[in-house]
Structure 1
Amino acid sequence: MSGTMSDQPGSPASVPPSTPRPGIRDWWRSFLRWPRVARITTYVVVGLVLVLVVALVTGAVLVRRPFPQTSGSAELAGLGADVEVVRDDHGIPQLYGDSVADLMRAQGYVHAQERFFEMDVRRHATAGRLAEMFGEKALDSDEMVRTMGWRRVAEQELALIKPETRAALEAYADGVNAYLDQHSPSQIAVEYTVLNAGGLDYRPEHWTAVDSLAWLKAMAWDLRGNMTDEIDRVLALADHSAEQVQELYPAYPYGEHAPIVGQGAVVDGIFDQAATQGATRKPQRPAYTAGARRVLSRLQAGIERMPTLLGRGDGIGSNSWVVDGDHSATGEPLLANDPHLDASLPGVWMQMGLHCRTVSEDCPLDVAGFTFSGVPGVIIGHNADIAWGFTNLGPDVTDLYLERVQGDRWRYDGKLRPLRTRTETIKVHGGDDVELTIRSTRHGPLLSDVSDQLTDVGEEARVDGRPDEETYAVALEWTALHPSATADAVLELDTATGWDSFRAAAADFAVPAQNLVYADTEGHIGYQAPGRIPIRKSGNDGLLPVAGWRPENDWTGDYVPFDGLPNVLDPEEGFIVTANQAVIGQDYPYRLTDDWDQGYRSQRIRDLLDKEGELSVDEMLDLQLDDRNPMGPVLTPYLLDVDLPRGYYSDGQRLLLHWDFGQPADSAAAAYFNVVWSNLLRLTFQDELPEDQWPDGGDRWFAAVSHLLATPADPWWDDAATDRVETRDDILAEALTTARDELTRRQDVSADEWSWGRLHRLDLHQAALGESGIGPVEWLVNRGTWQVGGGSAAVDATSWDASEGYAVTSAPSMRMVVSVGDFDKSRWINLTGVSGHPFDGHYTDQTDLWADGDTLPWPFTPSAVHDAAEDTLTLTPAEAGE
């Protein structure tokens, strides 16, 4: 070597010993010689940097402070013995205890750890108290909920439920409150830090059993059925004939799409023929005068201001199906379920398991599945003996009554009778208290009273030909406003051991009415329709608001008897599909509804089950991801027949030549077809319908347009805004060309570069603060964006509203497939994650998997759960005196 390391340039030895290193003191002396302006600028920059660093550190601390303790031990007052909380790598908790009371108390504690802010917002919503937290902007919702009296009904239900259910609710509330007592608001949720920084000065109240029961009212509201359809029909009748309006509400296609069960499937049916003489198909309608339409229109606007706690109300769907051992590759039943609800953050479900270490009569819980934070027990899932899933039955359980009101009286059966009246006070953060007067008839509360311009409503809603002081009002009759013991059904399902105990649990499930699919370890599969479904008198078919002054329009006071509701055990075809289609054939003696989902999803699932033969768990999961557009094969031939100029405009049309009607995120053809569909609906209907009735493009509109395509000169095709008379082919040609232009603007001039996912995006917004309009707050709580496939009325039902855009509005809120032969082979996934805390690792850690169509292992047996354990927290009884 030519030299040593100390001789190399840049080494410490190469610095002459006589050259001292510059130090902080030397730098400071040099800095003091800088010009004054430069020194001041430096001070400001350094100060801002320090403020930013402190803010970031403080923000990180405040964000992380509410994260739950997941390991070690924590005291929980009231426990009889230790409860283990075993979490896997996605934070999904499985609880192990020695008594139902301990498990309920621990479940309340864990729900509060992960999601108390969500629970708190929901209970304020269901009590009509959102304005206490969020100010005047929440007043419309509070007034509507207070008028309906959700919490008043929940308080009455507390006296109806079984003692063991009440004990579970109380133990659950104790667990929630133990967590609240141990933590300050900033330790419970970062959202409280944000709200209190804005001047709220808030500390959460203790949880109660009624808070849990009231949440069931929110479930019922979002799954209520055809209430807004009643209003839409009346408003559409203002400018169109009854025949034209009927074209927009096609009858269910029984000949094409099979119902859930056949008529012969009703077991032990008890049909009260006298009770079925009502609900004539041609009842006497009230005169829908301008005044009546105004009051209904105002009511509709008020309903639209209600928060979506579960979903979007009318039109929410879900899929579930079950196959027997002959159709399963495992030789044992497989059960699938994916409820379609609002795309919210956090998602409505939280996965959890509740296990008695020793299962016995005194401690019968050994169940896992999807829970609602705020409600004890498992809502959907399986125990060691049975599995079950839910979809919305969608019966007509609401009626709107057009009432004639004079002052404090209302007209009924030829007489004026006093209105029932009560007054409530709504506290408003940052504003004055609001006194709300709630009036009711025998049919229910007057929802039309909920208006900032109540006086104007009265002035504009006069009854023609009656005294000047007589005006229209609208009352709501709804099964959820009649107290029931639905809460009993949750724990009864969790502990059912076979078909008979499963049906006994279903008999208690009053509101909302659901489709229940079933499988058990004995190899049986089944279906049961539970729920309170009213029997109407002769003047009321439930399709339109009815005259409240006519007694023949009332409900009889009886419900369809449970033993008369459709059910089946082990059907001959070996599988059962429920996807919101008609439940049973037209010869069924009770009227459930005429507003069924059109059955596109259900028939597609049936067709694929018939085709597949024996299915594996993976094939069941693949079926949940089927993205075929049911309107594709109907509309595409008509689109291809349109003669477009070659080149620019025919480029989009060319994509449809070999399209298989699938809608993956990367599909250019799906992007073009769906934009054409959106434009077709706009061009056909928006000129003749008010804005709040513009087509959303879902299954009803698939059916309506399918029928219109066969009649090229139908008046609906004509554009009322032009002097000429347009036909079907004119509208199709314009829809194709405007879609081409729209996609060029939105994506690319090259049609091959288009993709459905770039339009069809999933953004997750928190309901409470995610629409605050404050950028940093929205950044804190919201997440996105995911490009997804699927679409409205597809099995992979990532729905979108054609009147608003292409973004996902509702979606599969979870997916699960249960393998009854080996529960540890089951799979599940949640739309978001277990946590409700922004920036927690489990806030949206399942969303990427969900969007890619992936699922997680679902361990159930103790060995499988502990093998998958990432963290274990032991909840211990508090020491005496603490």
Structure 2
Amino acid sequence: MTADSERPGSAGSPSAPGGAGAGEPEAASRRRRSPWARFVALPAGLRITSYVAVVLVLVLVALTTTSVVLVRRSFPQTSGTVEVTGIDGPVEVLRDAAGIPQVYADSTEDLMFAQGYVSAQERFYEMDVRRHATAGRLAELFGEDALASDLAVRTLGWRRVAEAELPLLAPETRVALDAYAKGVNEYLDGRPTSRISLEYVVLGAGGLDYSPEPWTSVDSLAWLKAMAWDLRGNMTDEIDRVLAIDAVGRERAEELYPAYDYRASDPIVTQGAVIDDVFEQDASAGGTRNPKRPPTGPALDRDRREVATSLAAVSSVDSLGQGVGRMPAWLGEGDGLGSNAWVVSGDHTDSGAPLLAADPHLGVSAPGPWLQVGLHCRSISAACPYDVAGYSFSGVPGVIVGHNASIAWGFSNLGADVSDLYVERITDGTARRGRQEAAVRERQETVEVEGGDDVTITVRTTDHGPIVSDVDEALSLVADAAPLKGRQRFGSGAGQEYAVSLSWTGFTPSPTADAILGLNRAGGWDAFRQALSSFAAPAQNVVYADRDGHIGYQATGLAPIRKSGNDGRLPSAGWRAENDWTGEFVPFDGLPSVLDPDGGVVVAANQAVAERDYPYFLTGDWDHGYRAERISSLLEAALVPTDSDSSGTVSLEEMTAMQLDDRTPLGPVLTPYLLDVELPSGYFSAGQRLLQGWDFGQPAGSAAAAYFNAVWRNLLELTFHDELPEALWPDGGQRWVAVVTELLEDPVDPYWDDVGTEDRETRDMIIERALRDARDELTSRQAVRAVEWTWGGLHELDLRSQPLGEWGNGAERALFNRGDRDVGGGPTSVNATAWDAASGYEVSTAPSMRMVVSLDGGDGLDRSRWINLTGVSGHAFDAHYTDQTERWLDGRTLPWPFSEDAVRDAAQDTLVLRPASGS
């Protein structure tokens, strides 16, 4: 590979990476422990301050002369010409002022090759860490800190499933995956790690001797497993319910899981019905002859009681998921995980063309999860059918969310319950299934640990799935405490045990990658739905708009059909056949969908998908719909003609502004109770006065929002921490808003009482304490004068690099993390910046990007707008590492050029990939 022009320091000596093919990567070469370790213990009598001072001087001198070279050495070349092996014709990569690449090629192979090449330029370290995570090999890079994660992933077998998916894919998908991998490997070929990413320099300085393996198609597929895992449904809720029942009893535990209120929040699809397994949007009544909704009668209730009683000992566990939960939160997890997606027909827009908005709420990190890109065939044909732009995942070819020349689409999490835990009764290597015994399958997995000994485990699998209690202490206690019905007959002798297995739709090999590239090529509603029929995991809501003026919605993903004994809310007895899945899934044609719905608007913000009479059971744990209702009300207000706007339409700018709405739905519910408490004038009432006339908005600079959220956090602590184990302490998200909303109506509900005191506390007593405690907390944290408080001063965004920003030392965290930015919003606001009330106010999940697509005719797509949480680059000191963050914070967006003229007008750098001579 040669280059006509390159950034300073980008050349380097050859260092060919070793590796394997499409299967499990071979273990990298042995790691050496840092030779610096011997200097950790200082000689006796040496003053540490003198030692540090000398070192700092030496370091500063060294940094002055070498830091620029070290840092810039891995920056991508963005202009000039590079000769590469693996393409048939020249490829152009045009980058705009934000560094966003738009690729132009003459064939699918060349286009995807270039996407792989560019992804490796910008984000290879991120890609490499992700593939180690999804293969259960993080400990090879990061040592024992990553071991628990690796053991859990090896048990789940993500990469094994990805390998099984590869032969299921369509030929055109295989072509794209293979070409993408070739592009990545062409970039790596002969390139030392210091020219790939600064993180490798840091890891090497710590003693890691490492060269990346070649990228494979399976690496791309395995990352889709991680995405599906983070959006899998209510697995932790199953255990949490057991803990809650044990702590406060069944009846009071049910208060913590209020049912979805269809009167307060409309589902996504409000028309149609299922007839003979097909959802028909114009049907007025269902005609399915054999509904599969699990019953909730006496048999199911009895099984729930048995599980809850038998797992009582689990209440001693303070934190769940000590194995499974140690996996990096690549996409975020918890109540804040969700998304907004909505679409408005041209009948209601100022342009007369549809507008589509989306902003997935995922975990915050640096870099963020998305890489913006455009993929354009110079001439559209069967050999090169792509003209698409949007957001991709580093390591995965194509565009995940965005638009092509004909259609636009956006995702939000469906929230279907696609995972179940089973308590297994095992005797001498077999698991009880009804009156039969089924063999428990075993395989050996060895995890290499940097700086430590290899760890070998035996992974066991039942007919339900892998036994996860073997690598998770909390689930192991669940297994040990699960006699359930028949324990006396089972006994507790040698060779007999209880264990917990996991069923998950993500274990079913499926061609989800076909769906991604099918969406990229789709030219209309039928092709859109055809593509989504291959989308297996994670289950998603997908909103749609096209250039012909149509809008729509389609639910997609595998949703299991359960037998009569299981509704997925609690772990089930694995030996009882009525608890099993049937082996069938809700048919794709039976999932809710609608084209050009009545009203001309679709809002999909994680609320219920269809009306309560929908015959298939999807989940009992819908998001309560606060964001969906707020978006709908904002749209309704915008569509009402006024004196200043007689059109009664919505504009692209108004849609963008709606994404920033920070109103809390809890505000109008809780604030009257807070104002009704009489506090002493002066110090304590100063915060309370901020709430008088408050509009319930939560901008970063709001003193009222700071006080309200501090009161909310203290209220949750005072109300629930005394009775619930720490693992169940409220995070303050949408479920807890629903819980407290109902609780406020009963001033003497037992939850208000503090069981640690002799008094019997009531609602008003707890509210008063929360008001006082919040005042003291904000005085300590921010200022004595209440008007000087700010919500953003509590609610900060810290962008951490994964995983060095979490597991690294202080210097490593300082190098790669970018943090302490004041942020507005909250978990139930449209601007969904979630925080965990059990631990603090720091942002845990947030809109990972925002986009609004205009489906105007001609070059109207060029009116679209987009923004990323961080930036295109994964290089910590590159100009595009977090260059979009300030705009994201301010609610601003970037132009989204799509037509070739607009892309070329916006281009500031052009890199040409040219076939190498003789290749």
TM-score normalized by the length of structure 2: 0.89
Query: Can you list the C-alpha shifts for 1:823-842, whole angstroms capped at 9, x where unaligned?
Result: 10000000000000011000
Q: Which residue of 2 aligns with 1:345?
A: 366
Q: Which residue of 2 aligns with 1:526?
A: 552
Does 1:158 pair with 2:166?
Answer: yes
Q: Which residue of 2 aligns with 1:396?
A: 417
Match for residue 175 of structure 1 among 152, 168, 183? 183
Q: Say if 1:291 and 1:472, in contact at 8 Å, map to a contact too.
A: no
Does 1:550 pair with 2:562?
Answer: no
Does 1:440 pair with 2:440?
Answer: no
Change (3 A) 1:863 1:455: closer
Query: How far did residue 416 of structure 1 move?
Result: 3.4
Q: Say if 1:421 and 1:440, in contact at 8 Å, map to a contact too.
A: yes
Counterparts of 1:518 and 1:713 in 2: how far apart (Å)? Answer: 48
Query: Can you list the C-alpha shifts for 1:745-793, whole angstroms capped at 9, x where unaligned?
Result: 1111111111101111101001121123522211110012211110111
The one-letter code matched in structure 2 to 1:335 is L
Match for residue 482 of structure 1 among 508, 519, 528? 508
Q: Which residue of 2 aligns with 1:770?
A: 805
Change (3 A) 1:756 1:632: same
Q: Say if 1:663 and 1:670, in contact at 8 Å, map to a contact too.
A: yes
Q: Which residue of 1 aligns with 2:892?
A: 854
Counterparts of 1:48 and 1:387 in 2: how far apart (Å)? Answer: 54
Counterparts of 2:294 and 2:481 in 1: how far apart (Å)? Answer: 34
Counterparts of 1:778 and 1:857 in 2: how far apart (Å)? Answer: 32
Counterparts of 2:375 and 2:297 in 1: how far apart (Å)? Answer: 48
Match for residue 78 of structure 2 among 50, 70, 73? 70
Does 1:355 pair with 2:393?
Answer: no
The one-letter code matched in structure 2 to 1:695 is P
Q: Say if 1:222 and 1:314, in contact at 8 Å, map to a contact too.
A: no
Query: Can you list the C-alpha shifts for 1:644-679, whole angstroms capped at 9, x where unaligned?
Result: 111111111111111000000111100000000000
Change (3 A) 1:827 1:45: closer
Q: Say if 2:279 and 2:593, in contact at 8 Å, map to a contact too.
A: no
Alignment of 1:191-206 (within 5 A): 191-206=199-214
Q: Say if 1:263 and 1:588, in contact at 8 Å, map to a contact too.
A: no
Change (3 A) 1:639 1:45: closer
Q: Which residue of 2 aligns with 1:26?
A: none
Query: How far did residue 45 of structure 1 move?
Result: 11
Match for residue 866 of structure 1 among 904, 907, 910? 904
Counterparts of 1:723 and 1:872 in 2: how far apart (Å)? Answer: 74
The one-letter code matched in structure 1 to 2:307 is Y
Counterparts of 1:559 and 1:454 in 2: how far apart (Å)? Answer: 27
Q: Which residue of 2 aligns with 1:285?
A: 303
Q: Which residue of 2 aligns with 1:269?
A: 279
The one-letter code matched in structure 2 to 1:468 is S
Alignment of 1:365-514 (within 5 A): 365-451=386-472, 464-465=487-488, 466-469=490-493, 470-514=496-540
Change (3 A) 1:728 1:89: same
Change (3 A) 1:610 1:290: closer
The one-letter code matched in structure 1 to 2:568 is G
Match for residue 720 of structure 2 among 685, 695, 703? 685
> The residue matched to 1:423 in structure 2 has which SS?
strand
Q: Which residue of 2 aligns with 1:570?
A: 596
Identity %: 62
Change (3 A) 1:712 1:438: same
Counterparts of 2:869 and 2:88 in 1: how far apart (Å)? Answer: 35
Q: Which residue of 1 aligns with 2:662?
A: 627
Counterparts of 2:110 and 2:562 in 1: how far apart (Å)? Answer: 45
Alignment of 1:807-846 (within 5 A): 807-821=842-856, 822-846=860-884
Query: Can you list the C-alpha shifts for 1:314-343, whole angstroms capped at 9, x where unaligned?
Result: 551100100011111111000000000001
Q: Which residue of 2 aligns with 1:878?
A: 916
The one-letter code matched in structure 1 to 2:114 is A
Does 1:694 pair with 2:729?
Answer: yes
Query: How far did residue 461 of structure 1 move?
Result: 6.0
Query: How far did residue 241 of structure 1 move?
Result: 2.2
Counterparts of 1:669 and 1:756 in 2: how far apart (Å)? Answer: 8
Q: Say if 1:295 and 1:448, in contact at 8 Å, map to a contact too.
A: no
The one-letter code matched in structure 2 to 1:202 is Y
> The residue matched to 1:529 in structure 2 has which SS?
strand
Counterparts of 1:514 and 1:116 in 2: how far apart (Å)? Answer: 28
Larger radius of gyration: 1
Query: How far did residue 453 of structure 1 move?
Result: 10
Structure 1: gaps of 5 or more residues: 1-43
Provide the aligned C-alpha RMSD in A.
Answer: 2.0
Q: Which residue of 1 aligns with 2:16?
A: none
Query: Can you list the C-alpha shifts for 1:364-384, whole angstroms capped at 9, x where unaligned?
Result: 100000000000000000000
The one-letter code matched in structure 2 to 1:350 is L
Q: Which residue of 2 aligns with 1:669?
A: 704
Counterparts of 1:628 and 1:361 in 2: how far apart (Å)? Answer: 48
Q: Which moved more, 1:465-474 or 1:160-169?
A: 465-474
Counterparts of 1:634 and 1:624 in 2: how far apart (Å)? Answer: 22
Counterparts of 2:796 and 2:822 in 1: how far apart (Å)? Answer: 5
Does 1:608 pair with 2:616?
Answer: no
Q: Which residue of 1 aligns with 2:118?
A: 110
> The residue matched to 2:819 in structure 1 has which SS?
strand
Counterparts of 1:565 and 1:573 in 2: how far apart (Å)? Answer: 21
Match for residue 652 of structure 1 among 687, 690, 693? 687
> The residue matched to 1:771 in structure 2 has which SS?
helix
Counterparts of 2:796 and 2:180 in 1: how far apart (Å)? Answer: 38
Change (3 A) 1:116 1:848: same
Q: Which moved more, 1:256-265 or 1:570-579?
A: 256-265
Match for residue 542 of structure 2 among 508, 516, 521? 516
Change (3 A) 1:277 1:349: closer
Change (3 A) 1:740 1:496: same
> The residue matched to 1:842 in structure 2 has which SS?
coil
Q: Say if 1:292 and 1:472, in contact at 8 Å, map to a contact too.
A: no
Query: How far did residue 548 of structure 1 move?
Result: 0.5
Query: Can you list the C-alpha shifts for 1:786-823, whole angstroms capped at 9, x where unaligned?
Result: 11110111000011110011111100000000011011
The one-letter code matched in structure 2 to 1:497 is G
Match for residue 89 of structure 1 among 91, 97, 122? 97
Q: Say if 1:222 and 1:313, in contact at 8 Å, map to a contact too.
A: no
Change (3 A) 1:768 1:339: same
Does 1:737 pair with 2:778?
Answer: no
Q: Which moved more, 1:107-116 or 1:242-251?
A: 242-251
> The residue matched to 2:423 in structure 1 has which SS?
strand
Counterparts of 2:701 and 2:615 in 1: how far apart (Å)? Answer: 48
The one-letter code matched in structure 2 to 1:109 is Y
Counterparts of 2:309 and 2:481 in 1: how far apart (Å)? Answer: 8
Counterparts of 2:297 and 2:569 in 1: how far apart (Å)? Answer: 9
Q: Which residue of 1 aligns with 2:233?
A: 225
Match for residue 746 of structure 2 among 711, 720, 735? 711
Does 1:754 pair with 2:789?
Answer: yes
> The residue matched to 1:300 in structure 2 has which SS?
coil
Change (3 A) 1:640 1:454: closer
Number of residue-to-residue matches in the alignment: 838
Change (3 A) 1:762 1:607: same
Q: Say if 1:224 and 1:313, in contact at 8 Å, map to a contact too.
A: no
Match for residue 791 of structure 1 among 826, 833, 838? 826
Query: How far did residue 412 of structure 1 move?
Result: 1.7
Match for residue 248 of structure 2 among 227, 240, 245? 240
Counterparts of 1:579 and 1:131 in 2: how far apart (Å)? Answer: 37
Change (3 A) 1:48 1:190: closer
Counterparts of 1:751 and 1:684 in 2: how far apart (Å)? Answer: 25
Q: Say if 1:697 and 1:801, in contact at 8 Å, map to a contact too.
A: yes
